[in-house]
Structure 1
Amino acid sequence: MKMQSILVQLFFFAFLLRLQAIAQTHNLCEVVFDTDGNELQQGTPYYIVSAVRGGHGGGLTVGTRERSSSTTNTPTVKQHSYNMNFGSPVLFTPVPLPSRVKSIAETPSTQIRSEEITIHVSTDVNIRFMEMPGVWQVDAASGRERYVTLEGKSGHPGKSTVKNWFKILLVNASDPASAYRIRYCPGLCESCHVTCGDVGIRKEEGTRWLSVLTRGEFPFVFVKARSNNEAD
């Protein structure tokens, strides 16, 4: 009887682990969508635009701000104050697949090829503006204020690049049609100490800089950047 009880407990424990694995896989499989209702694709340019129209600003671009610890100007991500200005398009590169899905042997090859180009919720990604080499990076050199700069290097997930990875999440996880938010909380380095936070807007003398905040996210949507010869 005692042995039977132990077996039941082991079965229940294994069942819970299986449920957790399914839940994690489900989160990875949630696709990010643009305003046209299409899946966000690696290598395709998009504008990151405020989801709140009116006086809440427009899209994102690059500005320069002076660090308090130096006299050099640092390329930093900022938001246009004019809501009709969509800013500069960005590109997304997800962390390589083996770092996201451990049991790759159980994943169909067709699904693997799709996941290599489709951006998913909660996946670590590099973000960079088109025609600019540096990827977004959390700048810790400014003391308490952690601005988003363009000083990161693409790829090479690990301790040396932990400041270069962001996640795309829904503002309301229970509503797939809600706006998105960007969160700095990389999951690719278990030994790294990271202070997580959402990317929000910090206003300084009329300029809206992107900064990692403990409170207050920047709600946004993705608008596909169309070429001049592409129909609206």
Structure 2
Amino acid sequence: MKTKLLAFLLFFALTTKPLLLGAAGAAPEPVIDTSGKKLRADANYHIIPAVPFTICGFVSCFTGGGLSLDSIDESCPLDVIIEKANEGLPLRFSPVNTKKGVIRVSTDLNIFFSDSDERCPHHSTVWMLDQFDASIGQTYVTTGGVVGNPGEHTILNWFKIQKYEDAYKLVYCPRVCPSCHHLCKDIGMFVDANRRMHLALSDDPFKIKFKEA
């Protein structure tokens, strides 16, 4: 009887342990594009508004579109802006674990425009946070970062995609350097004095979706 009981307990332990481990280590859900496919690190995408919106200036109104690059004073690096009425430039995503081909929610990743920009040939198109601008009270998303090398020296280069209502949002909340002091904040939109729409840290997230380029 004891032999049968021990055999049963051993069988139970061997068959249930993997299940428990599998449940505890479940991967975050994948990010889905507008065609219902999983986002991948080896493909190009447009980040576009999930909900159409209109910005009005002193003379006319225009509809916000995808993301591109621009400079306030023709200096480098270029800032990430929202284009007017088009899908913008194609981007790519590089997760902190480069062996993972699928892009998943709430996972540290680098974001970069697929092509270089001839206006700033010596700067990368990898996103990073700019320094806080006290004159306007904003922290823009700019470029000039690097892909990979997670740690304190690259802490400004890491972003995440999170679910937001029926779509997604971008956040700055890196976990690649646990000992670093950093903040967690949504990425939203700031319209400057020249009616340029910048990506910037915000309390009001920019609701987005992803379209394969």
Q: Which of 76, 80, 102 is the matching residue for 1:77? A: 80
Q: 1:91-139 CA distances to partner (integer Å, 9 max, x unpaired)?
A: 0000026xxxxxxxxxxxxxxx6xx100000010100001233310011
Q: Which residue of 2 aligns with 1:165?
A: 158
Q: Does 1:34 align with 2:33?
A: yes
| More divergent stretch after superposition (129-138 vs 153-162) | 129-138
Report the TM-score, using the length of structure 1 for normalisation. 0.70
Q: Which residue of 2 aligns with 1:58?
A: 65
Structure in which a larger fraction of residues adopt helix = 1
Q: State the alpha-carbon separation in 1 of the partners of residues 39 and 45 from structure 2.
A: 9
Q: Does 1:208 align with 2:209?
A: no
Q: Does 1:197 align with 2:185?
A: yes
The alignment covers a number of residue pairs equal to 177
- Residues 65 and 73 of structure 1 are in contact (CA less than 8 Å); yes or no, is this contact kept in structure 2? no
Q: 1:51-106 CA distances to partner (integer Å, 9 max, x unpaired)?
A: 0124251100001124xxxx944300000132xx0000100000026xxxxxxxxx
Q: 1:150-205 CA distances to partner (integer Å, 9 max, x unpaired)?
A: 11111100110010000000113xxxxx1100000001111111121111000012
Question: Following TM superposition, by how much is the alpha carbon of 1:145 offset from its aligned partner in structure 2, in angstroms?
Answer: 1.4
Percent of aligned positions with the same letter in both sequences? 36
Name structure 2 gaps, 5 residues minimum. Answer: 1-19, 55-62, 117-123
Give every structure 1 segment of 4 or more consecutive aligned residues whose post-TM-superposition deviation is greater than 3 Å.
Answer: 71-74
Q: Which of 122, 145, 169 is the matching residue for 2:106? A: 122
Name structure 1 gaps, 5 residues minimum. Answer: 1-18, 98-112, 173-177, 226-232
Q: Which residue of 2 aligns with 1:43?
A: 42
Question: Following TM superposition, by how much is the alpha carbon of 1:212 offset from its aligned partner in structure 2, in angstroms?
Answer: 1.2
Q: Does 1:152 align with 2:145?
A: yes
Report the TM-score, using the length of structure 2 for normalisation. 0.76
Q: Higher Cα Rg: structure 1 or 2?
A: 2
Q: State the alpha-carbon separation in 1 of the partners of residues 37 and 75 from structure 2.
A: 41
